[in-house]
Structures are given as structure tokens and as C-alpha cells.
Chain A
Amino acid sequence: MGIVSSITRRTFLIGSSAIAGGVAFGIFAARQEPENPLVATLEEGEATFNPWVLIDSEKVTLIAPHGDKGQGVLSTQAALIAEEMDLDWGDFDVSFGEPSGAYWNRGFAEEGVPFMSTDDSRMAETMRGIVGGITKLAQVQGTGGSTSMPDSYVKLREAGAMARETLKAAASAKTGVPVSDLKTEIGKVILPDGSELKYTDLAADAADITPIKDTPLRDPSEWKYLGKPMERLDIVAKSTGTMMYGADLSVDGMKFATVCVNPRQGGEMLGFDATAAEALPGVEKVFPITNGVAAVASNTWYAIQAVRAVEFDWGPAPYPAEQDAHWTALENSFGEENLDSEWRNDGDVTTVEGEKVEAEYRSPYVAHAPLEPMNAIVKVTDDGVEIWTGHQMPIFLTQQVAAVAGIEPEQVTFHNQFMGGSFGHRLEFEHIKQAVEVAMEMKGTPVKMTYSREEDFAHDFPRHISMGRCTGVHADGKVVGLDVAVSSPSVLASQGGRLGQGLPGPDSQIAAGAWNNPYGFDNYRMRAYRAPELAPVSSWRAVGANGAGFIFDTILDETIHAAGADPLEERIRLMDHEPSRIALETVGEMSSWGGELAPNQGRGVAYVESFGVPTAQVVQVTNDDGFIKIDKVWIALDVGRVLDPVNFENLVQGGVVFGLGHAMNSEITYSDGMALQTNYHAHEAMRLYQTPEIFVRGLENQPKMRGVGEPPVPVAAPSLGNAIFAATGQRIREMPFNKYVDFV
């Protein structure tokens, strides 16, 4: 396998500034524990043992620093603490906490190193440790890359155990009963005589005790909550309209606003005329902001009407105006000078004997378009800036806000909120910076800035386009070689560039899904080519594996069919990683692969590894008089351990719907520098009537804890395309598939 020789050539997600800080110092300093942010605001009688647990005489508060955009991590983070702490489920408050380096994300280290997730060699583990140290030093607190559970799994249980043992020590000091005779249950310490001391009653005593560390964690066989169905803590609020998202909050004296910024993303505003807008009812003020105009009004709708009434003179887009030119840029990037990295070169695919299959593939721009449009409430005063919104990167957010307002990050107070979806859009800062600009103009008055859906589509920072040029070689009924080349602009450079961070090495996301598969091909080459930056792009749920995974698995499927082999059996034969092979075998068994089908039916299988999760899927379609109907989907994923089986199934089914829906129906295309798709009518992905039955199996054979937010998505496109081929003989090599076939 193409393993890495030099770390400096390689990609680190967190950018060059952190690397330049020096690794040796980094490791030394990274051993220090960051300060517990809960200490600063501690009041008399309150106790905190670590950054995740706060107790006073009234209640227990847990801090769940990973943002919740629908994936349910608020609940699961709480469950990890509650499990060890013996809390009564739901009998506590949970907060997202404040931005703090104490909440640095260990999981990011996994994705920041250029090793396959299945590689647990000493070199790979050492590098993960080093990058982990840098992540800690750089205070990278964030939610993304399906890292919430990998990051939290051990440390939040340790936080719970620490709190429990410290509370027992407090109870022991108070009663004279030795700790070994004390038990804990549903938020109480139980004495041998059966009498009980509530945790809340012990808070004041516990505050004076040095937290007790290094308690061994419980064996999973003792778990009461984890691994079993739990009622999500947010489920009642989300079923009664009482959940308050950023878009719903209200702050005293608040006004409503919206913006309209050059729809040619990054283009300037050359001029505007707001005369008509200012005369509209309810409008208080219309004024320019960076590259556009804002309107403040007494109602969001008035503000939206106002910016629609403005006459604009927009400058050109800083990227090719027409979509065709974007594809041409990718076509022209398959040259030596654009080689970003040769990720794999096993055997010699250029000399292997056999019959060849050659094909070219395309994966389009796609919008995140979470249902809650981008928004933020901001209040600017002489003391600083207060902001309420849902975001995935709290510390970066305070830095971005401070830069716009010309203050220090410490003067920014950020209240993170539940998010009405994100899919990666809430990693971005444009809307945040605009909301701050608006509030600066309205100093002293809190302003809620909400995007119209059209503004949200125009400024979505879609998934990057990618293109594949591939050759498969087969002989004697077997796949004997694959040569996969992928070209795309760098999503990490685009995203990091907006934060002022460079990308010191290759972009792993050009190749993700294609390089990191643990098949044991005798001859496999995977080369990634970096096209120039085109439209600004951003991480879209599962990021690079959506394009490169589709490309990789489809050329594999084409070669298997050309060889006359069985698509599932040949994948299993080639697979060189036990948990991945089991995932393939599992979907085979779940779907009764090989069973009788009607002549107009077909099945496709695909395997893509995403964020460390081996994922296999079978899709069955029916060709109904020229209309394709997706009947059923079977999916098996190995996340190490399933912590909440109900939420797990929901997230995976949602990932399948998300992956299939966009593969079938959605793309963003540019004309005159603007995205042509302005609202959901032109980018609707999947609706209920197209939704198949989806059967989910969580596997627990791999040694590491993994997250499941993203991994179910990339297998969707190849498994569907492979199924359509099986049913119709038509091979589709470009998403969205509805360009080539009609769906029911």
C-alpha cells in the first residue's frame, strides 16, 4: 500500500500556521491540560470536576460541546457522562457550553493524518498523536468529520466517572462512611443503611475535593443506557414546535434583517439604488455591507421585500461564469503539473495483462441547503459582541466575529444553538460576518439576520465537482488491476482559504473514497489531480468520498461485470480487511443476494470507506416501463460500537435518503456566474414518494469508535448506479442520474 514517507508533504486539516508552531514544543505544551472554562463562573456552592460536569444545589448540568445539527449528539454526549455518573436519564440540564480550548477535538487528529483509517501501525498512531497535540494547542473545537463519538467516547465517560467518584468522596467525608461502602444510583450516593444523599446536596462539599481521576471505566456489559434504545433528549421539543433554533430566538428589543449579496459568490457590488426599498412598509434602514446590501425592518418579510426592491450593479464572478468552463478546467487538470498526490501505487497497473475497461465519470456541485436557512442574532455594544446562532466551529467563530468587529475574541460571547440541519454549511462564516456587519450598523440593538432561501442557495458553498478517468483490467474472470485518476478543485484549500489558512500538503478529499479502500488489489494506482479553484466550495456531508467513492466503486463494478464475475463475490474475494469483508457479507445475507428477481429488476452493491467506517450497501430497483423505482436498500456499517441503536438507524436511513436523493435528482450549475438553482423546486433531492424501504445493520467488529453522520452517504450513488445497470444494461457515469433515466 502507498504509505507515506514524509510528513511535510502531507495534508493537515488544521493548516500551516499550526504546523509552523513546531512539533517538539507542540508535544510538550500539548501535555498540559487546558483550563476548565466552568471554573471562571463558578459560584458559591457549585462544583465542577472537569469541563463537562457542573453541579449546584438545584441541578446537574452537563456540557455537550459538540454541536447538534440533527445527528443527536447532544443526547449521546449526555448519555456517555450519565452512564458512568449514574444519573437518572433526562434528570439534568445539558448545555453546548462556551467556546473553549478545553473542548479540543481529538477526533480531528484521525482525519488529519495521511494514513488509512484501517492502518494501526506504530507510524500511523504516532502521527495521530502528534496531530492530536497540534489540534489541542490550536484549540480546534469543532463538530465535523463524524468525530463527535470518536472524540467523546472515552473522555466523556471518564468525566462521568470522575464526577461520580468525587461525589462519593464528598459523601464519605461528610458521613464518615468509607468510599468502598458507598454506591451510586440515579443521581444519588447510597449509604449502606439505605439512606441517600442527592448529588445536588453534595455539591458544596464536593467543590472542596480534588477531583478523583483514573477510575477504571465500566465494562460495556454493565451499561444501563449506552447500546440500548434511549429517548433522545430533544425529541419532545422537536415534536411539539417548542424547540428553539437560532432562527426562532428572540432577544429584547430585537429587529429583523436580511442581506442580499452578489450572487456571483465573492464578486463585488459596483453600485446599488435603494430608493424604492426604503419606501416600503416596515423598513427601517437599507445600507451597504461587503459585496451587498442589508435591510433592517420590523419583520423578516419586510426586510426580504426590501432587498428585493433594491437595484444592483453586480461585478463579475471571480471564477468561470459558465458551467462548461468548470468541467473544462477539470478535464485540463489530468497532467503531471497538477498531480496533487499519488496515493496508491501497488504492483504495476501499466503492465498488467488483461482486457481493459475505460471510463470517465463526473460528480456535480450540490448544495447543502439545510432546511433552517442561515441566520444569526448579533448585538454589538461598547463592551463587545454577543451572538446567538448554531455553528460547528465555536472558537473559530469568535475569532471571525472579533476580526470583523475590530475587537479581541475574548470580547465575543457566543451562545451556540440547536441547528436545523447543516450538512457542512454551518462550518462557514460568511453569514456570520454579514450579521455582525449589520449589527455594527445598528449598534446597541440586537438584530436577527435571516437569509431568504434564495440567498441561502446563492451562497451555499456547494460540494466540489470532481471528475474521474479510470481503467480497469480483468483476466480469467477476475479483476486484476485498477487505475483511478480523480481531478477536482481542493475543497480544503477553498474552505481554509476563507479562514486565512493554507493547505501545506495534498488535499486528501480529492482522493477520499478512492485511495483509502482496503481492497488488496495486486495492481492498483490512485492519483489525485488538483484543478484550479473554481466556485467557492465547502465540505458537504462525507466530503470527497461522494465524488471519488462513486468513481472508484463504479469502475470496479464495470470491470467486474466485464470479467463476468459476481459483483458481491468478487468484492469479497478482493477485500483485504476483515471488518470490511464482514460488512459486504452482511449486506449479501440481509438482501439474500443471488436470489430470484423479476426480469425487470436489478441489484447493485457498493463498498466505500468513509471517515473510518467500512460501509457496504445493496440497492434493488425495478424498471417500470422505463421508469426506475428504488424498491429496497440494505446497508451494513461498522462503527466499532453502536451507542444508541434507534438514533443510529435513523441517522443511517437519513444518510441513505440524502445520498440517493442527491445522486438521483440534484446539482448546482453556474450560468452568468450564478447558481441556476435558486430554491428547492430545482434542487429537491428525495421526497417521501421516492423513498425505498431501508434496512440497517450496525456492526461492531472494528477496534475503534467511529461516527455515523457521514459514512452512509457515499455508497448511495455507486450502489444505485450499479443497480440501474443490472436492471437495464445502462451504465450511468454522471450524477445526477435523472439526466439519463427517469425515476418513478
Chain B
Amino acid sequence: MTDAPTHSIGVQVRGLRKSYDEQPVLKGIDLKIERGEVFVIMGPSGSGKSVLLRHVIGLEDPDEGEILLDGESLRITNVAERFRLAMVFQSGALLSSLTVGENVGLYLAEHRLKKPDEIDRVVTEKLEFLGLRGVKHKMPSELSGGMKKRVAIARALVIDPQLILYDEPTSELDPLSTITIGEEILALKERIHVTSLVVTHDRDLAFGVADRIAIMSEGEILFTGTPDEVRKSQHPFIRKFLTADFKFNASSQSA
């Protein structure tokens, strides 16, 4: 199964709507993410980015609209299972009853894809790749927030995914680790042509890795375009969102 040549998958979101307790969270989202693309979604807290990702990977059912993976609707049963999808959760979502190593190797072990000693080798390799040494036998509760995030990324990479969703992959990382993650996102794209959908607040990461960026606010996509197009956008909200911190920095520097 893992020996099959990886082909990345395209994602289409059509007219997606979702409400929780009568509160609309997604108000008609349309997106087209090309195969092998790094697509970044930015937007303020609470705008529905995580909810959107949960729909794309099939954890939530839309009220209206649909998600297509390589043209096949997620509403059809088993579509999500036919592809290798991975998600790095905002909180990491490591299984707290398993060691770090067991977490990373879980997918391979549960689906009997490799022998135990091979799994062990893959796990060590992935952890080292993300700069994590000597944590394999620790429990997730013994790790810092940033380390958990990196373990979660390692766990996603082990799946050898065709589509990988990152929910704030760098929100708890120092600048150096952030660069490592950014480089890894790009390396994966080159190496296995995986499609990446990245939700982030981190402008440096976004502009550093994105092929295209979508700006989301209050359950709607305001703008989609290449990083350059986004930088040039005259949309008042986007200008404000992209420059808010700069103004703050400028004023604090001049003070």
C-alpha cells in the first residue's frame, strides 16, 4: 500500500456552510487547491480555519456544500479512507496513554504496514529529522508544547501522506524550529509532491512557503492569490491584517 507511487491530490471546496447551535461558522467557502500546491489560509482567531480543516479531512459533515478530493466527494463513504491524508492538529492531539515513539509509529503498527523493528527505525528517523532526540520513550505529558507539535508533525509524516493539513504548525515554536518546519513543508512538496494546506497566523511562514494564500475572516474567504497578489491587495481588511503588527512595532520602536 505504501509502495504505491505517491501522487498528490487536489482539493475542491464548494459552497461549504456549517453552523453550530444556529451560529454560522462557515458561510459558503469556495476553494480550489491544486495538486502538489502549498496553500496557506490566514485569518484572525475564530474565523473558522480549524473548522474548515476538520471538514476537509472528513471529521465534520457540512450543512451545505461539499468537499471533493481528486474530484470525488467526501460524502461518498470510504473516499477519505482511499487516500492517505494526515492532519497536524492545533493542539498536537498526541495519544496521552502512548509513548512518543508509539504515537509516531501508531499508523504503521495499527495497519500492520511494517514489522516492529522497521517501525522503530522509521520512528527514530522521523523524530531525529524534526530535531527530537532521546524522546522516543517519554510520554507526551513530559514534553513542551513545541516538542509535542513536532512529534505531531512526525506522526503525520509517517503516514507518507498525499494531502497534509497543518493547523498552526508553528504556533508554539521558536524561530529556528519554525524555519525547520517551513523548510520541511517545502521539502515534502519537492520530494513527494504532497499537497499541503497550512493554517497559520505566522506571516513569515505563510509568505515563505505558500504558492497561494487565502485570507479568511468570519467564515468567508476574502481573497485568494499568490503571495505577491496578497501583498498588493488593496482590500482594507487584508491591509489591516497584514500590517497590524508592523504598525505596532514601528510605534514601539519610535517610542
Are chains A and B native binding partners rather than an unrelated pairing?
Answer: no
